Structure 1
Amino acid sequence: MHIRKLNSLRGIAALIVFFTHFSDITNWLGGILGGGSGAYGVMLFFLLSGFLMSYLYFGKDCNKANIQAYFLARAGRVLPLYLVIVVSSYILTQTDNPLLYNIPDVQSLLAHLLFIFGGSVLWSIPPEIQFYLVFLLFWLAAKRRRGYIYVAIIAVMILLFLTNFPRIYGDVYGVPYNVFNVLRSLPLFFVGVIMGMHYDSLKVPDYLKSHWFILALCLIPLLYPALSPVTTDAKRKMWLSYEVLLVMSSVFFCLVFLVPNNNLLLANRFGDFIGKISYSLYLLHMPIIAHVNQYALAVELKLLLSLLLSIFAAFMSHRYFEKPVATWIRNLPAKRAANKAATKAAASV
């Protein structure tokens, strides 16, 4: 079953990050959309990731073939563009040509390639990859010991709260690592997992479903530090606040469970398009904004030009690089099987 609304939700997450970084870099609107508010877009990405993993895989047997297909699908989706950007960033940094991201030395390059550290927007990829590994434990328990999933999630979330999310980071022989980024991201993934587990089984009464629940999206700007009516430090802690987790989870629940699937604001061609290129848009937009900001243009023109160039670059990347490479990676087992069959047939002749 395809949940079309999730395409637009991915697009919204990417655009939140885009507008936040544009506001920070250009001081657009006095920077009120910045101040780290892109975190809320990344939170949506993590909720979506956890949701989709449990929704797509808990109904399948956790056997060798399915695990192989799982890792190939995840690798095809995340790795190609990420690896190209990381290696290109390192090469460009060495030639004093900072067109992408700053990766100054071999140690930093190795940390990015090992998914133990990430700079700028690249920070979110290591937690994503490491969650894919943690998810295997949930998948193993999903068939006969599903209750263990709830126990493990509750236990980890309580432990993180009581230890105030341990600041575990540093370097080993100059190779940086940051476990803290993973720990602070886990609650978002976990909430997504639980919602994905119950998407088909939770029967929401028809009278509770309404297109008006789309307005739950308005809660996200109210979390922005410059716009929030909240007076506690929750609006600054963001990732370390279970209050923020509650709000973001509630927004996600409303959009996925309570907004009808035919909602025009979430189920439309533009949402499908932005959703498909959201990963590319997320990884490519920041260097484009920084480059456009160097020109003596009105900030509104900078916004339009940055957005159009970011969408164009993301589309080209997705259409002509990421999608073909991902398809090739996913088809590797079938190609190997075909080659073995051909070899066996030739040997028997």
Structure 2
Amino acid sequence: MTAKPIIKQLHGLRGVAAMSVVCGHFSPIPTVPAIGVVLFFIISGFLIGKLYLEKDFTFSSVWTYAVGRFARVYPLFALVVISVGLLNYLEPSADIFALSADQIVPHLLLAGAGHTIWTISSEFQFYAFFVLIWYAYAKARLPAMTILVPLLIAAIGVALWLGTSAGRINLFGYLPIFVLGLITARVTDNPPEVLKRWASAALVIAGLCYAVAFFAVPFIYDPRWIYVDPISILICATILGACIMAGDCLINRVLSTRVLVWLGEISFSIYLLHRVAQWLTEHTLGNTLSDRYTTPIMIALTIGMAEVTNRFVEKPARAFLVGVGRKIQAAIVPQEQAPASS
């Protein structure tokens, strides 16, 4: 895929989301890394809406979608779950993700709720739920917003009703985030001039609100509420939508810098490996250094590990699985040409 400006900006936002989670978990002061997860979920819904919602609902398109999502997320996730589960078994004091060896299989079956990695189960639940949205949209032949807006309203109501009592991998506790990502994809397709005109200012304001939420939410309410708080979710959606519509502005130029784009490209590895890097650092150094030194070491180790796994695990596994998926598809539906996977 060519590095269009919009792609660079999205990679940059992914980098911001990943580093929000990492810095939040490594911070010696109270913060809310969960807002980085909200931004990740919004981006996920947005990209799926952009890539698939307007495609014909056929076996080939759904197969390509399923293979692409599985190949993008599952291989590294499975490797991390197995490796961490075994490490925790051999070194019980590690307790990374609170993942015991007997929880390896439930996590591989996407029914596990360990710290941080619970989000992958929720992500796959949304992938499955999106197929229903896609089918309804394709068959109803109604404008997408006619389906998505009522769904968003219903999802917000259910999420607020569940509140923090929702199970960690209960999709309905996070569905409004993903659906708002889908809506953002539709709004930015052909936005009104007034939105484009104010997009740069909205991006600045929403970015400041994001920073305030990151530091202030722990002093206002239980950070778990961040996933159902409509204001926080709207802030993340506004950042994404304004980023797409603002065009060539200062913040988009920053998001498109080589460093942030690179961090976005390895963001999934960063997200899955940062707690491993944290344990490795603390296990090796103990209390020999202060936080001002150990935190940069943990961040550097996280990024280094992420680059290695992205290059030697994520990309090769994705290419292999997509290739196998195309061969299976060609064997099942030889008369159709398989669309390119994303």
**TM over 0.5: same fold?**
yes
SS of 1:255's equivalent in the other structure is helix
Partner in structure 2 of residue 172 of structure 1:
none
More displaced 10-residue stretch of structure 1: 71-80 or 192-201: 192-201
8 Å Cα contact 1:55/1:199 also seen in 2: no
More displaced 10-residue stretch of structure 1: 300-309 or 140-149: 140-149
Bigger radius of gyration among the two: 1
Partners of 2:234 and 2:180 lie apart in 1 by 10
Partners of 1:234 and 1:252 lie apart in 2 by 25
Residue 67 of structure 2 corresponds to residue 75 of structure 1:
no
**Equivalence map 1:51-90=2 (5 Å):** 51-90=46-85
**Equivalence map 1:121-132=2 (5 Å):** 121-132=116-127
Query: Which AA in structure 2 matches 1:335?
Result: K
Partners of 2:331 and 2:51 lie apart in 1 by 29
SS of 1:331's equivalent in the other structure is helix
Query: Which AA in structure 2 matches 1:109?
Result: I
Partners of 1:288 and 1:248 lie apart in 2 by 27
8 Å Cα contact 1:216/1:255 also seen in 2: no
What are the ranges of 5 or more consecutive residues in structure 1 without an aligned counterpart? 170-177, 342-349
Partner in structure 2 of residue 159 of structure 1:
158
Query: Which AA in structure 2 matches 1:14?
Result: A
Residue 301 of structure 2 corresponds to residue 301 of structure 1:
no
8 Å Cα contact 2:210/2:236 also seen in 1: yes
RMSD, matched Cα = 2.8
Partner in structure 1 of residue 337 of structure 2:
none
Give the one of 303, 312, 316 matched to 1:324.
316
Give the one of 92, 99, 105 matched to 1:103.
99
After superposition, give the CA deviation of every residue in 1:271-308 in whole Å (9 maximum; x if it has no partner): 22111100000000112123213411232221222111
SS of 2:15's equivalent in the other structure is helix
Partner in structure 1 of residue 14 of structure 2:
10
Query: Which AA in structure 1 matches 2:147?
Result: Y
| TM-aligned CA distance change 1:179 to 1:86, over 3 Å | closer
After superposition, give the CA deviation of every residue in 1:25-54 in whole Å (9 maximum; x if it has no partner): xx2xxx14x3xx110000000000000000
Query: Which AA in structure 1 matches 2:136?
Result: A
In the TM superposition, residue 89 of structure 1 has moved relative to its aligned partner by 1.8
Report 1 or 2 for greater relative contact order, CA contacts < 8 Å, sequence distance ≥ 6: 2
Partner in structure 2 of residue 288 of structure 1:
277
| TM-aligned CA distance change 1:332 to 1:303, over 3 Å | same
SS of 1:60's equivalent in the other structure is coil
Partner in structure 1 of residue 198 of structure 2:
208
Give the one of 174, 178, 188 matched to 1:189.
178
Aligned length: 320
8 Å Cα contact 1:47/1:188 also seen in 2: yes
| TM-aligned CA distance change 1:201 to 1:19, over 3 Å | same
More displaced 10-residue stretch of structure 1: 331-340 or 51-60: 331-340
8 Å Cα contact 2:273/2:305 also seen in 1: yes
Partners of 1:279 and 1:271 lie apart in 2 by 14
In the TM superposition, residue 159 of structure 1 has moved relative to its aligned partner by 3.2
SS of 1:200's equivalent in the other structure is coil
8 Å Cα contact 2:159/2:176 also seen in 1: no
The TM-score with structure 2 as length reference comes to 0.84
